[in-house]
Amino acid sequence: MSTKTQHRGRLAALGVALTVSSVLLAGCMGNATPSSTSGSGGGGSVSNGTATLAMPTEPANIDPIMMRSISAWNMYYAVFDGLTRIDSKGKIQPGLATEWKSNATQDVWTFTIRKGVKFQDGSDMKASDIVYTYNKILASAKSTNRVAIAMVDKVEATDANTVVFTLKNPFSAWLNQVATIGIVPEKVYEAEGPDKFPTAPVGTGPYKFVAWDHGVDYKVTRNDSYWGTKAKIKDITFSFVGAPDARVTGVESGTLDTAIIPASQVPVFKGAANAKVVEAASNQVAFIGVNTTAGALSNLKLRQALPLAIDRNSIVKNLLNGYATPTGEIVAKGVAGYVDGFPVPKYDLSAAKKLVADSGYNGEQITLQYASTGGSPTDPEVAQAIAADLGKAGLNIKLVGSEQSSLSLSLANHQITGLYLNAWAPSSMDGDVVVSQLLAGGPEDYARSPEMAKAYLDQQAAKADKRTDVFKGIWQWNATNVSNVPLWQNTNTYASVNTIDWSPAVDGIYRAAEVGRSGK
């Protein structure tokens, strides 16, 4: 039975996200970004209408102090503000900070705080609330947000409108990181605590909290006292609809206004009178992860056969209906760290067979783990196709399917036995977290290369105009050593009723304030 959390005279707020499946930079000393309150994407004028936005999963929690989750971020962008914000195109924009600068080594960041901002309970947002939010996260041992700001050594308000972060090390991606931290009012959070605050949260965002019917939906209403551009639609409902077929029929019937759908369901809307399909390149890259220490996979020549043996173009065409773009790097175009023109491995079965033979491979079984349920609907078919391709190259592949949560646990605990199918979509829109997790000591890094550990620190310290060169070296190292095999950048497909004006964000997260009605 679902329980309903009702409005209690005070309104607002939500959570944040990292991904495991899930900076643009601004700033050197003296380089400030001008204040801006303009939105982006979407059409329609401000109205008193409603919209229902479907979400495939419901977050377990939406406390921005304690929780970091990709699903909660949808509501976070509606109800909370960070110091900066990531717009629908993945670019950094001003948020609660109007401008910022860093020192030459990028380990001290100074933010000028916007004046006149109020929380949704009517209280003033102060620099001390920002300091409190960060210190509270750092002091909360169970906070999944803590890792995102673990590099903070000290945060202080040097005056009423200035907050200074001193980091433990240079961190070029800091502007994107602060966009993911929703600011809470110290007085309210101290009174409510992590148990009660999510039941009637308070933030500074374009929408205010109304109700959370667990297992069903989450409702917000426009914050007419918002400091920035007013939300286009008055009342938004985030509806939790896990089944892809239910999302399709919901848009068809008009009970849902928009929903992400599998590419296989796109033909359903061909010629539909009341709905359309909207495509958008995503920030998600699918890849095959490799335990480089496991049996035959410890042999470099055998690993180098993997990217050549997989026919990416065939899989994209036949299983993904063309809604993906083959790639040779593990961050998507639009994410900081993407290198234009970096080569995509060409399908070359003969070369793959020769590498397998030269490796001395004796036919031992190699596992390929994947999400049989709970992941992308196409994961089972994709895993089967990849296993077949690797089999043609002479490898003995055993498919091991499991529920997505079980696979995620194996990933988090560094327990992969061979190969695995996964995808990464950094909501921070920066490659730093991807490299950290996959190549520089994170739970999906089996090579533990000192060279990569150094390269990771180099990209953190690099200035904006030099960072791409460092990332290029990282991708080249990965192409040679094959710690993972990049496959393709996915394209998101949405079904949307014709009256909704909306441009999907590259990170797949709703910017509810930018959703509008055309009146068609």
pLDDT value of residue 25: 30
The tens digit of pLDDT for each residue in 84-134 reads 999 988 899 999 999 999 999 999 999 999 999 999 999 999 999 999 999
SS3 assignment for 506-518: CCCCCCHHHCEEC
Sign for the pseudo-dihedral over CA of 417, 421, 425, 431: positive
d(C-alpha 502, C-alpha 437), whole Å: 33
Give the pLDDT mean for 357-370. Answer: 97
Q: How many CB atoms lie within 10 A of CB 448?
A: 13
Confidence of residue 376 (pLDDT cuts 50, 70, 90): confident
Q: Which helix (H) or strand (E) holds 236?
A: strand 235-240
pLDDT value of residue 519: 63
CB 81 within 8 A of CB 183: yes
Give the pLDDT mean for 334-357. Answer: 96
pLDDT value of residue 61: 86
**Domain with residues 282-492, CATH architecture:** Roll (3.10)
pLDDT value of residue 95: 98
The tens digit of pLDDT for each residue in 447-495 reads 999 999 999 999 999 988 899 999 999 999 999 999 999 999 999 999 9
Confidence of residue 35 (pLDDT cuts 50, 70, 90): very low
Task: Evaluate if residue 146 carries a pLDDT over 70.
Answer: yes
d(C-alpha 283, C-alpha 285), whole Å: 7
**Could you check whether 4-241+499-517 and 282-492 share the same CATH topology?**
no
pLDDT value of residue 30: 35
Backbone dihedral region for residue 380 (phi beyond 0: left; psi -120 to 50: alpha; all else: beta):
alpha
**Of residues 499 and 35, which shows the higher confidence score?**
499
d(C-alpha 298, C-alpha 295), whole Å: 6
pLDDT value of residue 439: 96
SS3 assignment for 393-437: CCCEEEEEEEEHHHHHHHHHCCCCCCEEEEEECCCCCECHHHHHH
CATH of domain 4-241+499-517: 3.40.190.10
d(C-alpha 426, C-alpha 335), whole Å: 8
What does the domain layout of the chain look like in residue ranges?
4-241+499-517, 282-492
**CB-count burial class (<10 Å; 0-12, 13-18, 19+) for 195:** exposed
Indicate the residue type of 279. E
Q: Please give the DSSP secondary-structure letter assigned to residue 125.
A: P
d(C-alpha 179, C-alpha 457), whole Å: 21
pLDDT value of residue 377: 81
Give the pLDDT mean for 273-300. Answer: 95
d(C-alpha 178, C-alpha 26), whole Å: 13
The tens digit of pLDDT for each residue in 204-253 reads 999 999 999 999 999 999 999 999 999 999 999 999 998 889 999 999 99
Confidence of residue 520 (pLDDT cuts 50, 70, 90): low
CB 208 within 8 A of CB 223: yes
